[in-house]
Amino acid sequence: MANIMIRQGEKGLTFYLPKRDLEASIESIEFDSPEKWGGELKLDNGGSYYIDPIAKPPRLPISLRAKRLGAAED
Protein backbone atom coordinates (compact mmCIF):
# COMPACT_ATOMS: atom_id res chain seq x y z
CA MET A 1 0.00 0.00 0.00
CA ALA A 2 1.26 3.42 -0.82
CA ASN A 3 0.03 6.93 -0.38
CA ILE A 4 -0.87 8.51 -3.67
CA MET A 5 -2.46 11.74 -4.78
CA ILE A 6 -4.95 12.18 -7.60
CA ARG A 7 -5.21 15.58 -9.16
CA GLN A 8 -7.14 17.22 -11.94
CA GLY A 9 -4.60 18.03 -14.60
CA GLU A 10 -5.03 20.06 -17.74
CA LYS A 11 -5.76 17.02 -19.84
CA GLY A 12 -7.38 14.71 -17.31
CA LEU A 13 -6.57 13.07 -14.03
CA THR A 14 -2.97 12.77 -12.95
CA PHE A 15 -1.47 10.35 -10.52
CA TYR A 16 1.30 11.24 -8.10
CA LEU A 17 3.30 8.95 -5.87
CA PRO A 18 5.15 11.19 -3.38
CA LYS A 19 7.40 8.48 -2.03
CA ARG A 20 9.03 8.10 -5.40
CA ASP A 21 8.23 11.47 -6.91
CA LEU A 22 6.46 9.77 -9.72
CA GLU A 23 3.97 11.68 -11.81
CA ALA A 24 1.88 10.04 -14.52
CA SER A 25 -1.46 10.63 -16.16
CA ILE A 26 -4.33 8.30 -15.52
CA GLU A 27 -5.55 6.70 -18.71
CA SER A 28 -8.55 4.98 -17.29
CA ILE A 29 -10.39 4.70 -14.02
CA GLU A 30 -12.54 1.67 -13.39
CA PHE A 31 -15.51 3.35 -11.70
CA ASP A 32 -16.37 6.92 -12.45
CA SER A 33 -19.83 7.72 -11.19
CA PRO A 34 -20.96 10.01 -8.35
CA GLU A 35 -21.63 7.12 -5.94
CA LYS A 36 -18.78 4.86 -6.89
CA TRP A 37 -15.41 6.19 -7.90
CA GLY A 38 -12.07 4.45 -7.96
CA GLY A 39 -11.09 0.87 -8.59
CA GLU A 40 -8.30 0.08 -10.96
CA LEU A 41 -6.27 2.96 -12.31
CA LYS A 42 -4.36 2.48 -15.53
CA LEU A 43 -1.43 4.83 -15.92
CA ASP A 44 0.12 6.05 -19.13
CA ASN A 45 3.48 4.68 -18.06
CA GLY A 46 2.09 1.17 -18.15
CA GLY A 47 1.63 0.77 -14.40
CA SER A 48 -1.66 0.13 -12.66
CA TYR A 49 -2.89 0.74 -9.14
CA TYR A 50 -6.02 -0.09 -7.22
CA ILE A 51 -7.90 2.24 -4.91
CA ASP A 52 -10.94 1.20 -2.91
CA PRO A 53 -14.02 2.65 -4.58
CA ILE A 54 -15.46 5.61 -2.71
CA ALA A 55 -18.08 8.24 -3.40
CA LYS A 56 -16.71 10.68 -5.94
CA PRO A 57 -14.68 13.24 -4.01
CA PRO A 58 -16.18 16.72 -4.20
CA ARG A 59 -12.78 18.28 -4.71
CA LEU A 60 -9.48 17.19 -6.17
CA PRO A 61 -6.61 16.70 -5.43
CA ILE A 62 -7.14 13.95 -2.93
CA SER A 63 -4.66 11.70 -1.12
CA LEU A 64 -5.54 8.03 -0.98
CA ARG A 65 -4.05 4.66 -0.18
CA ALA A 66 -3.44 2.55 -3.25
CA LYS A 67 -2.32 -0.97 -3.97
CA ARG A 68 0.10 -1.58 -6.76
CA LEU A 69 -1.19 -4.06 -9.31
CA GLY A 70 1.29 -3.92 -12.10
CA ALA A 71 4.69 -2.36 -11.84
CA ALA A 72 5.79 -0.59 -14.95
CA GLU A 73 7.83 2.24 -13.57
CA ASP A 74 11.63 1.87 -13.31
Partner 1 sequence: MSTMTREETEALIAEVLEVYPDKAKKDRTKHLAANDVSVEQSKKCITSNRKSLPGVMTIRGCAYAGSKGVVWGPIKDMIHISHGPVGCGQYSRAGRRNYYVGTTGVDTFGTMNFTSDFQEKDIVFGGDKKLAKLIEEIEQLFPLHKGISVQSECPIGLIGDDIESVSKKASAAIEKPVIPVRCEGFRGVSQSLGHHIANDAIRDWVLDKRDGVTADSTPYDVAIIGDYNIGGDAWATRILLEEMGLRVVAQWSGDGTIAEMMNTPKVKLNLLHCYRSMNYISRHMEEKYGIPYLEYNFFGPTKIIESCRKIAAFFDDTVKEKTEAMIAHYQPMMDAIVAKYKPRLQGKKVMLYVGGLRPRHVIGAYEDLGMEVIGTGYEFAHNDDYDRTIKEMGDATLLYDDVTGFELEEFVKRLKPDMVGSGIKEKYIFQKMGIPLRQMHSWDYSGPYHGYDGFAIFARDMDIALSNPTFKNLVPPWKKVEAEDVKKAA
- CB closer to partner 1 out of 18 and 70: 18
> Which residues are registered as beta bridge partners of 61?
none
Q: Rounded to the nearest whole angstrom, what is the least distance from the CB of residue 7 to partner 1 in the complex?
A: 7
Q: Rounded to the nearest whole angstrom, what is the least distance from the CB of residue 43 to partner 1 in the complex?
A: 9
- CB closer to partner 1 out of 35 and 59: 59
> Which residues are registered as beta bridge partners of 63?
5
Q: Rounded to the nearest whole angstrom, what is the least distance from the CB of residue 48 to partner 1 in the complex?
A: 15
How many Cβ atoms are within 10 Å of 63's Cβ, its own excluded?
12
Binning the chain into helix, strand and coil, the percentages to the nearest 5 are 5, 60, 35
Binding site for partner 1 (CB under 8 A): 5, 7, 16, 18, 21-24, 44-45, 59, 61-63, 73
